[in-house]
Amino acid sequence: MSLIITKAGLLALSAAETSGAKLQATHMAVGDGSGQPPEHTNASTALVNEVWRGALDAITLREDGQTESGQAVEFRAHIPMTTGGWYIREVAIYADDVLLAIGAHPVMWKPSPDDPTKLEHTIYAPVVFGNAATLALTIDPSKVLATQQAVDEAVAAHNVSPNAHGNVFKALDDHIGDQNDPHATLPPGGDPGQTIIKQTDGRLAWGAVTGMPVGALLFSTTGTPLPGTVAVNVKQKFTLGTYPQLEAWVRSCGGYLATEAEWDAEAAAQEGSCGKYCLTDTHIILPCYRHYFSAAQNGAAGKAAGDWAGDAIRNLTGELKSSTSPNSLFPSLRDTASATGVFQVNAEDLGGRIDQSVNTYIAAERVLFDASRVVPTADENRPKTSYLLPCIKAFDVAVNTAQVDMQALAAQVSAINGNKVDRSEWTQSLGESGWQRLPSGLILQWGTGSVSTGVATEVTLPIAYPNAQLSCVAVIGIDYGSVGNDAIAVYNRMAGKFTLKGEHSGSTVMPYSYISIGY
């Protein structure tokens, strides 16, 4: 896609070149061509059917856009999600009321705000400024266009000028650098290493705090994980970077499993329990404690931290003793035998027989084995048990000796102290693809990849948003080296993914970069 400079545009550029005053392009307009692909010329005075007009985001002199015809300049505008319900078939660039350039655009549907597939769209409209054969007029765009670079340089020069804003910047810098509580909200005193603790009477005072180190196994008495911990009575799997302190501690200790399959195999053999961490290329899996209770490492020979032992019971013994019929295997137990331990002689006569050799009636009786006569029994082997929720300390949350939640206290101090930022919720995963969680709950995510042109491709975010993905913008990640029909669109935004589609007339693969915002 390349726009044509109109006759009105050429006249305006010529006047700007003659006067030395730069012509400022201000707006972009799009139209639907009244349902047909338009055929614009330099004599065109307007779009066939304009459906939207908005301010330009940027004007860029493309370094690779120098051709025999002149210099390529790229105009960019952003069409918001709040408008739509029409096709885009034509584009125009305006300098205030002057139609500077016009041309066709690859047909694209812009969904309405009520459409589930609603999307934002950025249009890049290149214009080549060079010789206009019909007017024999040569235009140098570097002399007559106010580019984004020129505007940025002017703004930067204004901002650093000591006379631009008086002493406002200096006063703000001095205030930010003031470490002596400029709002006078902190209590007096305090020693190095101390923090502010809320007292029982509501006052704030300096004091020491205590807490368990990251990686410690703790137990909650309420069924709710303790501050700074994660429950480990089920399999817990997290993306690397979710708990950086715990991850660093596990790496420093070593001895962790390398694949999820190893972890699952141990858990399958131990009724869902696995006493070891697992660090894969993308995730950390925590130990899981179910049906087992803890014992001291090396308390049994050859047992290390994370090892397991099967169940066992104490040895149970008993004795049957008879004082008569020494040659009989089962004498008359009811009258002549005694039983101890786990054995019991049943007093019920089950019927008998006559021994013809001695002409004697021999009773048929039975012996019972009952372990409950010696030890407490149940349908499982267990020690005396009080059930608690196992938790692993995953990140630092300072708690004083009175168990005051310092996260809640930090929020209270923040409100008192002019809503200063609480950085305790700033977690992130920094890389070519990653995310940053802000204290407000807002999450920024970014990434790169490539798609086949003309094919709708589903892109999975590094992490799923807890609530919703508010916005996502993608840009083409390569300079194709020439002006062509290139565009990229984002739609079907969901909590954990979105759909991306790219168009380019001269390539089958399009690299891209994106940034997404949600909460």
Q: What is the pLDDT of residues 142-164, one digit of tens each?
A: 444 455 555 667 777 777 776 66
The percentage of the chain sitting over the pLDDT mark of 70, rounded to a whole number, equals 66
Residues 25-48 pLDDT 10s: 889 999 999 999 899 999 999 999
When the pLDDT of each residue in the chain is averaged and rounded to a whole number, the result is 76
Strand order in the sheet with 137-138: 58-67, 70-79, 121-132, 137-138
Going by C-alpha positions, the residue among 37, 223, 11, 197 that lies closest to residue 98 is 11
For residue 134, name the pLDDT band (cuts at 50, 70, 90).
very low
For residue 474, name the pLDDT band (cuts at 50, 70, 90).
very high
Which residues 6+ apart lie within 8 Å of 88 measured at CB? 30, 31, 32, 51, 105, 107, 108, 109, 110, 121, 123
The mean-pLDDT minimum among 210-214, 294-298, 422-426, 456-460 falls in 422-426
**CATH code for residues 428-518:** 2.60.40.3940
What pLDDT is attached to residue 438?
86
| Other residues' Cβ atoms within 10 Å of the Cβ of residue 495 | 14
What pLDDT is attached to residue 85?
93
> d(Cα 373, Cα 360) in Å, to the nearest integer?
34
Long-range CB pairs of 361-370, under 8 A, 24+ apart, other chains included: 362/332, 363/332, 363/334, 365/330, 365/332, 365/333, 365/334, 367/320, 367/333, 367/339, 367/343, 368/343, 368/344, 369/318, 369/342, 369/343, 369/344, 370/342, 370/344
Higher pLDDT pick, 133 / 356: 356
What pLDDT is attached to residue 412?
55
Domain boundaries, the chain: 4-149, 216-295, 318-323+333-373, 428-518
> d(Cα 452, Cα 508) in Å, to the nearest integer?
6
For residue 326, name the pLDDT band (cuts at 50, 70, 90).
very low
Is residue 249 pLDDT above 60, yes or no? yes
End-to-end CA distance of the chain: 37
Higher pLDDT pick, 132 / 109: 109
Higher pLDDT pick, 375 / 357: 375
What pLDDT is attached to residue 213?
82
Residue 498: HSE in the Cβ half-sphere, 13 Å Cα cutoff: 29
- Tokens at 47, concatenated: 């779009």
The percentage of the chain sitting over the pLDDT mark of 90, rounded to a whole number, equals 21
Is residue 436 pLDDT above 80, yes or no? yes
Higher pLDDT pick, 386 / 481: 386
The DSSP-derived string for 476-508 is E-S--SS----EEEEE---SSEEEEEEE-TT-S
CA 464, 465, 470, 472 torsion-angle sign = negative
The mean-pLDDT minimum among 90-99, 191-200, 289-298 falls in 289-298
Q: Is 445 in contact with 462 (CB distance < 8 Å)? A: yes
Name the 3-class secondary structure at 122: strand
Name the 3-class secondary structure at 127: strand
For tokens 């009575």, the residue is 233
DSSP 325: -
Q: Is 334 in contact with 363 (CB distance < 8 Å)? A: yes
What pLDDT is attached to residue 308?
66
